[in-house]
Amino acid sequence: MNSDPVLWLKDVTRRFGSGDTALDILRGVDLALRPGEIVALVGPSGAGKSTLLHIAGLLEAPTSGQVLIDGKDCAGLGDSGRTKLRRDSIGFVYQFHHLLPEFSARENVMIPQMVAGLSAAEAGERADQLLKMVGLERRGTHRPARLSGGEQQRVAIVRAIANVPQVLLADEPTGNLDPQTASDVFAQLTRIVRATGLAALIATHNLELAHAMDRTLEIRDGRVAELKR
C-alpha cells in the first residue's frame, strides 16, 4: 500500500503529572495508518493504549510530537477546528457502547449526522442503510436497553462511521462481549472497513482478534513496534 497515511503520529509523548510523580506513558510513538487497513493495538493493561487512541482521536493533546489527520497537522487547530476535524474525519468506538439511552437505535445513528448538517430525512435514510449493514434493520426503534450487548456495539460501530470518517478508532470494542458475539461483531466491523476503505486502529486484549487484522502494533515501554507474527 503506497497511499499516504490518514493517521500519522510522529514522536508523540504523553506525560501525566509532574516532578517526582510524573509518569511518561508514551515516550516517542511513531505510527502511520493507511486507508483500508485494520491494525490491532495490543499491550498490557496500563501500557497506554487508551491514551494513544485518545491522542489520535484528538480527545487529548500529546505532551510533545505531532498528530496528522489526512496530512493535516492538528497542533495548530483551535478548539472548533479540532471539533470539526474530529466530527468529519474520526469515528470512535468504546468498550461500553455510550449510546444515548433515551433515543432509539436509529436516532442514535441519526444524531451525529444531523449535528454535521444533514436533514432528518437524509440522516434517517442513511441510518436505515447502516443498521441494515449490521443486520439490525428490525431493531431501529429499540432503545439501547432493549438491545443485546452485541447489538448495542453494532449500533455504536455504525454510529461511529455515520459521517463517513477516514479513521476509525476503537478501544476494546468487543471487550464486554462473549467470544462468539465478539467474533461476529468483529467480522461485521471488518466488512465495514473493507467496504468503505476506512483505516481502523483497534485496541484489544484478544490476540485471536489481533491476528485476524492486517497487522499488530504493540505498546511496550512507551513505544510502539510492529509485532512479528
Where along the sequence are the contacts to Mg ion (CB under 5 A)?
A: 49-50
Contacts with ligand ATP: how many residues (CB under 6 A)? Answer: 12
| CA 19 to chain CA mean position, Å | 32
Q: Is 43 in the site for ligand ATP (CB under 6 A)?
A: yes
> What is residue 64's three-state secondary structure?
strand
User: Are residues 192 and 157 in contact, defined by beta-carbon separation less than 8 angstroms?
Assistant: yes
The helix or strand, by DSSP H or E, that contains position 27, with its residue range, turns out to be strand 23-33
Minimum Å distance from CB 175 to Mg ion? Answer: 9
Residue from 46, 135, 179, 197 touching ligand ATP (CB under 6 A): that is: 46
Number of other residues whose CB lies within 10 A of the CB of residue 139: 19
Closer residue to ligand ATP (CB): 49 or 126:
49
Q: Is 50 in the site for ligand ATP (CB under 6 A)?
A: yes
Region near ligand ATP per CB under 6 A, out of 43-51, 70-78, 80-88, 107-115: 43-51
Cα end-to-end distance, the chain, whole Å: 19
- Footprint of ligand ATP (CB under 6 A): 16-17, 23, 25, 43, 45-51
